[in-house]
Structures are given as C-alpha cells and as structure tokens.
Structure 1
Amino acid sequence: MTTLTLDTTQLSQILTVAWGATDILRKYYRSDVAEQQEQDKDGPVTAADLACNHYILEELQKTYKAPEFGYLSEETYSKGETFPQPYVWIIDPLDGTRDFLDKTGEYAIHIALTQAGRPILAVVAVPEAEKIYYAVKDRGTYVETRDRQPTRIKVSQRQSISDLYLVVSRTHRDDRFQKLIDQLPFKGRNYVGSVGKKIATVLEQASDVYISLSGKSAPKDWDFAAPELILTEAGGKITYFDGSPLIYNKGDVNQWGGIMASNGPCHQELCSQAIALLEVIDAG
C-alpha cells in the first residue's frame, strides 16, 4: 500500500490541478458553450462540467493510481457503487450547476480525499473569486490566490445565535425548511448559491451557519466531503442534528436528514433547537 504523506510537493501538485480546473470552468463560463446543457432527472449537466471532470480525473490518476485509490465523482458514479480502496477521492467538478448556467458566479469545484469514510484532504475552488480554500487533516485551512501564496483562515468567534448570520440558497427551500429557519433567531441571512461558496462565506466570516435539511432529495457525498474539512480545520463544526458525523463512500451517496454546519460556539445549541423546532413543525 502506498504511504500517503500529503507533503508540500503533493499538496502543490493537487492545488495545481485545482487551478487548472478553475481555468477550464472560467473559460466555459465566458463562452456560449456554457449554455449547452443536457437535462437529466437530477438537473442540468453542462459541457463545462464534463470537461472539468475529465481533466481532474486524468490529472489525479497520473499520480494516485489503483489499487490504493478509488474515484467517486458526481459525473461517473453509478447508483449503489462503493469503493473498497484505502483512499477514495470524492469529486464534484461543478458544484452549483444552476448558478453556473444563470451566471451568478457562485459556483465551485470540490476535491476531497477520504480514508475510512472521512476526509483527510480537501480543496474547494471558487473560480470567479479566483480563490482556492484547502485543508489537510490536523493542519488547518488556508486560502490561496493566483500568486500561490497561502494565508491561514479561521471562522468567526461570534458566540450568540442572535449574532450569527445564516447562509442559505436563494431557491430550493421547501416549506418545512423555511419554517425551521424562520424560527431560528439569527441576526441576518446571506443568499448564496453552491455549497462550496456558502462554506467559503463562513471561512471569510461573512456567515456563520449553513443548514441542510433533506426533503424529497438529499445532498450527496460530493456536496459535503470537501467543504466539511475546510470548515472544521478552520475551527468550525459540521454534524447531523443528533451530533453524529457525516460518513462518505458508504454505498448510498445521499446525506439524508438534517446537517448543521457552523462556526462552532453555538453548534450544539443550534442542533438542539433545530430538533425541537422540527418536532413541533412535523406535529402540525
């Protein structure tokens, strides 16, 4: 089995791949090709999405080969598929496809490396901001701009729910979720597109809380694996409402239930309030 050290050279190579993927999406974003889309049951798939996915897989697989490494990508995943390899890459080449097509600029790229179902390396690129957020387990979270100079980044230390800012999608909110967030006493809300971009606003201290509550569908492994680690390594927390951790590559890529991502100090209180409020909402 390959000894994975994730040293400076390896990390630099992975970030170079992320910058390459960023350039691909930015090129498509500014061209008419971005408007070419194929509608499937889960949403639009763009030419940019597929091109970026191909590039990331091709570049990573040059170094991180089978049998030690598996690849769970949104664009190549088959329902029920699990990867028995010691290390599994979880990739979303275009998080926020609708934001990409609608030209909000709030799309992202997620690349995570997991071991035993948990992330040990994460990269979230926000192409239109020309920023890449990255983390290695137990080494902190950093943000890198085009000059390739890293800066360590941490979440806010706001400690009262009434001082916190919720980041939420402009759309995709069913009645149950809307009732929940309406009853949590946040100071304000920020409306942002993709999950990666939402978590980036928490790292930048513009937001403090992101909540996911599955309804008829649920977020997938590739939505959370990379954002989770950049958040927790920056001092934040992310769990299910009951406090249990997210597990990836378990066969079902859906992350069903309620997920709380926060800057940390009020995390348990937020989870408890969410559970109590949902009991009342569901009772009628």
Structure 2
Amino acid sequence: MTDTLSQQIPTNLQNILEIARPIAWGASDILRSYYRGEPKTGDLNIEEKKGGPVTAADLAVNHYIVAHLQQAIDDEDFGYLTEETYDPRTGKLPQSWVWIIDPLDGTRDFIDKTGEYAIHIALTYQGKLVLALVAIPEAEKLYYATLGGGTFVETADGSNTQLQVSTRSNLEDLTLVASRTHRDDRFDALLKRLSLTKQKLVGSVGCKVTNILEQNADVYISLSGKSAPKDWDMAAPELILTEAGGKFTHVDGTPLRYNHGDVSQWGCLIASNGHCHDTLCSEAEKLLAELDKD
C-alpha cells in the first residue's frame, strides 16, 4: 500500500467494503442468537466492569470480526482498536490503517432487551475516517459509508438505498435523540435551556445516529461527565452521518480525533443533520459556560 490516501480510496476502499459487509452481517447473526438465548451460543455470562457490563456476546462478536478481517486482509499495515481488547498502556497504534471496532454498542440495552443495540466497524487512515459500517441486528439493517462515497442502508433481502439526512432547519422543528440512562443533571439542564422541545429516547449511539439517517430525528448530543464515550462509540456513526449530509463535531466546531493516544472523547459532542449545526454548537457552548458558572 502507498502512503497517499487519495490513491487508496478509488479502488481499495471498495474492495475492503465488500469484505467487511458480510462480516458485519455475520456478526449481527451472532448477536441475535445471543439476544434470543439460542442454545448454540450459551449463557451471556454478564460481568459488571468499571466501564459498564461485558457479556459473552461482546467477546464472541469481537473475536469473530477481528479474526475474519485479519484472515481476509493479511496486512501488517492494519491495526485493531477494539473495546474488548484495548489496553490503555498501548497508547496510539502505529499503523497507518486502524480498524476501530465496537462489537456491541449498547450492551445495557442488549441485556435489558430493548432491541436498541448495534455493531460499529470503522476504518481510519492516519486518523481520518475512510470507511464505516453500523449494523442494527434487530432491524436487520446494515448502514455503510466510504469517504466521498455516500451512505447506504442494506436490508436482509440484499437491497441497497442511499440515504440523506432531513432538511429541517428551524430549531423548533428539530427532534433530539437522547439516552434513557447515560445522562446527568448538567446534561438535563443543557437540554432544558436549548430550544429543542421534541425528544426521542433511544439506546446506543449507533441506533441514535441511524435514527437521524432515517429522518426520525435530527440532533444527538453527548456530554461527558465522570466518564466519556470512546473512539469505538463514535467513529463508525460519525462517518455514516457525515456522508449522508450531516455534521458531527465538538461543541466548538473542531473535528473528532481518533487513535491519538486517549480513546476517551471528552467534552460536548454534537451530531446533527447539519442545517443548524453551527447555531446549535454556538448556543450549546454558551449555555455550558453559563451552567459551569452556576
């Protein structure tokens, strides 16, 4: 592989996407079998850890994705940054190409049987997102995007449809998609002061962003507190959103960074359909400054 991104995208990304799509579908099948308690997969073996619960399903799907990618793409230029194998002592991975993987986004929703869980698979080149897949197993849908290639949704029957975010541009018309549980008083205070009265409660980041892609919502806000979302929470959802016309940035408008040593995405992150993004960021930044003074 050469070191010029522009030379890689036209051919190699499409080839890699053709490899990754069936892997994402296979991972979805594994998660659904665990979700339904099918005998062949066994017990969930739930462990409560510092960062949240981990199940046998998380570990099985992580192994499946990484093993199949490594088998199909036997190239030392590719690194793997996954939720289940990440070691903070490792720091930034040295490879030019890095897979960022969350085998089960929304583990709590998976355990609680809300159906709102997802699989995230993203590929970066020198820290830049270039390919992403977000699978929603219970909906039997796979959302995928390549840099400059748009966002598509594939259904179980094999049909593919290109997606675009909504064109809603007035703040009062926008619907915010938010978590049921990952929120605190500061976050609730921010939402109360923003001009976003319509809210939709959805689990997992992948499900939230795909709601924006399906035009069922327009805005998602993440505000870190004692902890923060990680690279694998945001990477794949970011690219499928931006390639469909949306925006995903820090509240000050700066882009998200990946594989730079600290996997925590601290601060306030805003994802939107893009039409009011700058206004939303400006308003949220001002309100957060006021809340921090109180």
Shorter-chain TM-score category? over 0.9
Runs of 5+ consecutive residues of structure 1 not aligned to the other structure: none
SS in 1 for 2:12: coil
* Residues 153 and 234, structure 1, Cα contact 8 Å, conserved in 2: yes
Residue 74 (structure 1) aligned with residue 83 (structure 2): yes
1: CA distance between counterparts of 2:161 and 2:194? 33
Deviates more, 1:59-68 or 1:114-123: 59-68
Residue of structure 1 equivalent to 2:281: 271
Residue of structure 1 equivalent to 2:28: 22
2: CA distance between counterparts of 1:34 and 1:145? 28
2: CA distance between counterparts of 1:164 and 1:92? 28
Residue of structure 2 equivalent to 1:101: 111
Residue 92 (structure 1) aligned with residue 94 (structure 2): no
* Residues 13 and 146, structure 2, Cα contact 8 Å, conserved in 1: no
Q: Deviations over 1:83-136 (max 9, x none)?
A: 111100000000000000000000000000001112100000000000000000
Residue of structure 2 equivalent to 1:61: 70
Q: Deviations over 1:159-189 (max 9, x none)?
A: 0111000000011211111100111112410
Residue of structure 2 equivalent to 1:41: 50
SS in 2 for 1:6: helix
Deviates more, 1:23-32 or 1:63-72: 63-72
User: Could you tell me which of 169, 178, 183 is aligned with 1:173?
Assistant: 183
Superposed displacement of residue 7, structure 1: 5.2
SS in 2 for 1:92: strand
Identity of aligned residues (%): 60
Q: Deviations over 1:183-205 (max 9, x none)?
A: 11124100000000000000000
Residue of structure 2 equivalent to 1:196: 206
* Residues 165 and 187, structure 1, Cα contact 8 Å, conserved in 2: yes
Q: What TM-score does the superposition give when structure 1 sets the normalisation length? A: 0.97
User: Could you tell me which of 139, 145, 148 is aligned with 1:135?
Assistant: 145
Superposed displacement of residue 80, structure 1: 4.1
* Residues 245 and 274, structure 2, Cα contact 8 Å, conserved in 1: yes
1: CA distance between counterparts of 2:89 and 2:272? 30
Q: What TM-score does the superposition give when structure 2 sets the normalisation length? A: 0.94
Q: Deviations over 1:45-83 (max 9, x none)?
A: 100110000000000001223421000000001014221
Runs of 5+ consecutive residues of structure 2 not aligned to the other structure: none
Q: Deviations over 1:217-257 (max 9, x none)?
A: 00000000000000000000011011100010001000001
The one-letter code matched in structure 2 to 1:121 is: L
User: Could you tell me which of 148, 151, 164 is aligned with 2:158?
Assistant: 148
